[in-house]
Each structure stands twice: as structure tokens, then as C-alpha cells.
Structure 1
Amino acid sequence: MDFHPTEEQAAAAGLAARIFRDLATHERLAAAGTGSDADLWKALTAAGLIAAVPDVGLLGLVLLLEEQGRTTAQVPYAATCAYGMLPLAAHGSPEQRARLLPALESGEAVATGAFPARGRITAEGGRLTGPAPAVPWLREATHVLVPDRDRGLWLVRTDAPGVRTSPVETTAPWSAGTLTLAGAEAERIGGARAHDAVLAAARTAFAGLQAGVCAGSLARAVEYTSTREQFGRPLSTNQGVMLRAADAYMDTEAIRVTAYEAAWRIDEGLPAHEHVLTAAWWASEAGKRVVHAGQHLHGGMGADLDHPVHRHFLWGRQLDAYLGCGSELLAELGASIAEGERA
């Protein structure tokens, strides 16, 4: 693959980095609690960073989500792009795109997805029934992309009859909720292959988000250990600290490069199922190692729940759980490889 982003992708990522760096400060993040930072959301939409996602592709989105992850910016950017903009742009009908995309681009609408579904939702005559626990950003969402047990994809409005949402707290402050559907009216998105395509893109996107979370955690640890002195010298000069930071750096780069490769292959229309699972595995398994290391390298400060590095720890652990634990992803990857060898 070509690891050099296009001019458009680089420009979008640079703009996102400036907005997140300027507005996703520790003070604003603390004030947002589990909800969105409305001013930051407006800044992202005004800059066209939601509308640009179909143009920059999945690899471009991974680059953008890296920048969100570096600051753990408190907005439903990943969910809206992965479960709203990309699925509608790729699988929506012309009428659906014309009706739904403008509201997502302007930030008036917020999308999320009831993934992983675990086969809980049934569809009959365009109406959905069943529960979906811990849907990220559900309390902010106007639309939810819901997979049924037959792997169909449906879009549900959160204010529609038969839709009930209730708050639920997750490890990271993602404004999550439980979605309960009781004969809720929904509209079909895409055909038979849309489910697998959306799941692959979402896994890759959230792996990119984890790469940013880990990079931000490591950057904070490097800054702290370079300035914090013990016995008259910086902590960073201790061999144990250097080795722990080096391992975290290698893990972060592995998450990044596997997410880039999976995204690039999807954008190019190449087979990517196993590459997506590899990226998700690295993001889950290595991601939690990195955020634990980032917290540990802060010593006692890392145990402070109000310290900025603790947010990276919470986001990293949440993404680990959301992507699926390493053993689950490894089992799915092994099954895919074995099936390919039998074919």
C-alpha cells in the first residue's frame, strides 16, 4: 500500500488536528462530562469535516479519527461517520442520500450504530423488535443504524414510536444508552452485502480512533517522564521507563499501520476481511497495553481520576471492549483463514 495520504486527506487531517487541539482542552473535556461539546461539534461541521468523509474515504476517516483520539475529544464524530455518513454514501439510495446526508453534514442529525448486534434484533415487515445494550452516543443520536439477526441493515429514528432509549454508563464517557425496539418502523439501508461492509469499515475506523488514543497517552507519558525528576535526573533516563515507553510506541505503530492497511484495501476494493480483523485485534489487545503503560508511567499521578491521562486509559479500555476482546477477534480471524484454506 501507499502510506502517503492524498493532498485532500492530509489537509483534512491537519485541519482536524488544529480544531481538536484548540478546543478539546482538559478543562472543556471535564466540563462536558459524558455529553458532547456543542461548540466543538459546531466547529467540526462548520469546517466541513463531516461532509468531507465520503470524499476522503475510509483511510481519510482513519486519519481524522486519529486526531480525535489524541485528545479524546468529546463529540460523536466516529459514530456519526462510521454509522451514518459512510453507510449512507455507499449503500443508501439516491433518495436516502438526498434526504439524510445534509442533516448529518450540518450536525443537525447525529448517527450511531447498534453494533455488535449479537442477533438480538428481529425484522418483520419493516418493523424492528429487540434490545441493543450500550449503544455509544445513543443519548445524542437522532438516528441509529441497526443490524437484524439476518444481517440486514435498518435505519431507525430515536424519536419514532416503538423506540425507547435509557441511559447507561460505560467505561468511557460516550453518552451511551440501551436501545429497546418494539415494532419500531425502520427503513432498509443497502442490500445483502451492506452489513459486512459497514461492520468492516466501522471496525477499521474505531481501530484508527484507538491509534490516536494510544498516541495521545504515550505523548503525555513522554512529556511527564522527561520533566519529572527522581534522584536528580529525569525519569525518562531510567532503563525500565525507556523500555516500557518503547514497547508502547511499537504497539501504537502496529495499531496505526494495520488500521491504515485495512482502510486502504477497503478504499481500493481489495479483499480486506482478514486485514480488518488484524487491525481490530491490534487495537483491542495492544491498545489496552498502551493505555495501561501510559497510566503506569505517570506513577501516582496516573491514579488521579482527574488527570488528563486517565481519559486515555478510559477510552482505550472502552475501545478494547467495543471492538471485541482479543481472543474473540483472534478466533474469528482463525476461522476466516481456515475457511479460506478449505475453499
Structure 2
Amino acid sequence: MDFTPTEEQTAARDLAARIFGDLATPERLAATGTGSDTDLWKALCAAGLVSAVEDIGLLGLVLLLEEQGRTTAQVPFAASCVYGLLAVGAHGSPEQRERLLPGIRDGAVVVCGALPATGGVRASERGGLTGTVPLVPWLRDATHVLVPDQRLRLWLVRVADAGSEPVESTAPWAAGLLTLDGAPGEPLGTQGAYDDVLATARSAFAGLQAGVCAGSLARAVAHTNTREQFGRPLAAQQGVQLRAADAYMDTEAIRVTAYEAAWRRDQGLPYATHALTAAWWASEAGQRVVHTGQHLHGGAGADLEHPVHRHFLWGRQLDAYLGCGSEVLQELGELIVSGAEGTEGGEA
């Protein structure tokens, strides 16, 4: 395994870091409120960072999402790349790819995902979908939503054909309640496509969590190096150093497991267990890191307006979205026992 970024992946990551760093400032994020930054989304698409994912693969996307996570930039980058660009590219028919991919690349088409499956959606023989999904991240930004039915078949639904109500979640992800009342859906891929898309999502959102944790820790390090107590920086205290060291190790564990899962998908290797491993680290370790980041800020960490609080909210939302650690661990154990690793890049 070699996780060293290629020249193309490095260039895309550096460009993403520059755009997120310039445009996703704390002041701008505060002004955005709970919605998305449409100007930032347009800038990312105009720079070709969405379309670049087709060339730099899932590992490249993970690198880009790390940069988003460092700034907690409010754009549907992960969702539209995972549930749109990569899902349609891997499992769409030639006609679907020709029709949908150009719009996804330039940001005119935004796809979100009602994954993981909750069993609340049923499909009729004619493809009409009925049911509700309580919370779909980025639904308020989306033109299409990828929905699994009770048999784990994937359907692409136009949001205009469904019912959508705003839902406020822990993190400002422009989420919504999805209501389907016979809404028409077009099938995407075979039944096995669900497993691949879910594993891809877990790998990608674990990468996003690695960035959130890295950003939280960076703020904590900067704070403890400049804040003094009894004439010494807080960072000189052994207890602070140990907490920061543990958070660093947790962040690296999230990062390397996300890299491994993404790399294996790009190489066409089975990666379902690796995606679950990354999700477990992102869930369990992620919430530890963002708690540490807030705690090391002392009283400032309790300020809801402080930038580190955004990392705390994002970390906890990603923890919930990926599934609590015990649930993910149980699914991982069952998959290992069954020996059903089979998820590979492309059509499963």
C-alpha cells in the first residue's frame, strides 16, 4: 500500500486548501448561518475540484474533504461527489452518465443521499417510491437525492418530485425531512450497488472527520501555546500535552484508515471491512478529539460563537451520521464472520 498522493492529487488538495482557507473564514461562516455558502460552492466547481474527483479517485476526494473539514466549510461537497459523481460514474447506465455527470461536474446538479438505509422507503413495481426519511444531509441544496428502498435497491429521485421540509441538525448541513408519496425514481445500478455506495460514503465522511479533528486540534494547540497560566503557556503543562498527544494519535488513526479504505476502492480491491473500520475510528475517536479540542480551550471553548465550537458540532454530527461505534463494530464483526467482504470499486 502506498498512500503517497500523486502529482494530480497533491495539486487538487493544495488548490482546495487555498480556496477553503480564503473563503471559509470564521466571519463568513458565521454570516452564512445554518445554510450553505453558494458562492464557495460555485468557486469549487469553477475550479474543477468536483470534476477532478473522477481522475483522482476516492483517495483524492478524501484529501479534498480533509481540507474542507479543517475549515468546516458549508458546502455539499462530500454528498454530491459520493452520491452523485462517484455513484453515477460507477453504477449508472451509459445514458445516465451522459445525462447527469456534466451537471454534477459543474455544480448545476447537486445530489445528496438518504443513506444508510432506514427501511422506511418502499418501491412499487412501477418505480414509485413511498415513505419518509427523517434527516437527509444537504437535502435543501440538492436537485436529486439517492434513496435506497426496503430491498436495498438504489433510486435517483428529483427533489422537486418529493416533499422536503427543513430540519436543523447539530451541524449546519442544510438538512431536510424527505417525504415520498409515490414519487417517481429511476433505478441506479444493480442491487449490489448499495453496498459499494455506502462503503464509499463511509470512507469519504471518515476523511471529512479527519479534517474536522485536525482543525480542532490545530486551534487547541495554537490556544494552549499562547494562553498563559501562572506565567507559563498552558502547553507546558503535562496534562495538556498528554490530552493533545492522544487527540493527535486518534486523528492519525482516522486519517490512515480512511486512506486505506479509499485506496483499496481505487485499486478495485475489496474494502467493505476497511470502510467500516474507518467509520468506527471516525465515530469513536472523532468525538474524543473534538471534545478535547473544546476542553483545551477552557472557558473559551464553551462560547457558542468560538470557531472551535463549530468543529465540536461537526465532529458530533459526523459521529451520529456514521453510526455510533458499537453499531459499526457489530456490523464489522458480522461482516468478518460471514466472510462477505465482496465490495469492490465499480459495479458490485
Identify whether the pair has TM-score above 0.5, normalized to the shorter chain. Answer: yes
Give the TM-score of the pair, scaled to structure 2.
Answer: 0.96
AA of the residue aligned to 1:150: R
AA of the residue aligned to 2:304: L
Given the alignment of the two structures, is residue 17 of structure 1 paired with residue 20 of structure 2, yes or no? no
**Equivalence for 1:74:** 74
**Equivalence for 1:121:** 121
| Bigger shift: residues 311-320 or 87-96 | 87-96
AA of the residue aligned to 2:131: G
Q: What SS does the corresponding residue of 2:164 show, helix, strand or coil?
A: strand
**Equivalence for 2:345:** none
Query: 1:191, 1:339 → 2: CA distance?
Result: 21
CA contact (8 A) 2:139 2:176 kept: yes
AA of the residue aligned to 1:222: V
Given the alignment of the two structures, is residue 159 of structure 1 paired with residue 192 of structure 2, yes or no? no
Query: 2:201, 2:118 → 1: CA distance?
Result: 16
Residue 59 of structure 1, CA deviation: 0.5
AA of the residue aligned to 1:46: A
**Equivalence for 1:53:** 53
Query: 1:285, 1:337 → 2: CA distance?
Result: 20
Deviations 1:219-274, CA, capped at 9 Å, x for gaps: 00000000000100100000000000000000000000000000011111111111
Q: What SS does the corresponding residue of 2:49 show, helix, strand or coil?
A: coil
Q: What SS does the corresponding residue of 2:279 show, helix, strand or coil?
A: helix
**Equivalence for 2:308:** 309
**Equivalence for 2:44:** 44
Residue 192 of structure 1, CA deviation: 2.1
Residue 340 of structure 1, CA deviation: 2.3
Deviations 1:103-129, CA, capped at 9 Å, x for gaps: 111111211000122111111111111
AA of the residue aligned to 1:285: E
Q: How does 1:301-340 map to 2 (within 5 A)?
A: 301-340=300-339
| Bigger shift: residues 108-117 or 12-21 | 108-117
Q: How does 1:180-259 map to 2 (within 5 A)?
A: 180-259=179-258
**Equivalence for 1:173:** 172
Given the alignment of the two structures, is residue 92 of structure 1 paired with residue 56 of structure 2, yes or no? no
Query: 2:330, 2:305 → 1: CA distance?
Result: 37
Q: How large is the Cα RMSD of the aligned pairs?
A: 0.9
AA of the residue aligned to 1:171: T
Query: 2:117, 2:332 → 1: CA distance?
Result: 19
CA contact (8 A) 2:117 2:152 kept: no
Residue 55 of structure 1, CA deviation: 1.1
**Equivalence for 1:262:** 261
Given the alignment of the two structures, is residue 104 of structure 1 paired with residue 104 of structure 2, yes or no? yes
AA of the residue aligned to 2:319: D
**Equivalence for 1:6:** 6
CA contact (8 A) 2:212 2:311 kept: yes
AA of the residue aligned to 2:112: T
Gaps of 5+ in 1: none
Residue 35 of structure 1, CA deviation: 1.0
Residue 284 of structure 1, CA deviation: 0.2
Gaps of 5+ in 2: 341-348
Query: 2:88, 2:54 → 1: CA distance?
Result: 10
Residue 215 of structure 1, CA deviation: 0.2
Q: What SS does the corresponding residue of 1:199 show, helix, strand or coil?
A: helix
Query: 2:266, 2:192 → 1: CA distance?
Result: 16
CA contact (8 A) 2:45 2:106 kept: yes
AA of the residue aligned to 1:93: S
Query: 1:269, 1:93 → 2: CA distance?
Result: 19
Percent of pairs with identical residues: 73
Given the alignment of the two structures, is residue 293 of structure 1 paired with residue 292 of structure 2, yes or no? yes
Give the TM-score of the pair, scaled to structure 1.
Answer: 0.98
Query: 1:155, 1:289 → 2: CA distance?
Result: 36
Deviations 1:66-98, CA, capped at 9 Å, x for gaps: 000000001111111111110011111111111
Where has structure 1 moved over 2 Å in runs of 4 or more? none
Q: What SS does the corresponding residue of 2:160 show, helix, strand or coil?
A: coil
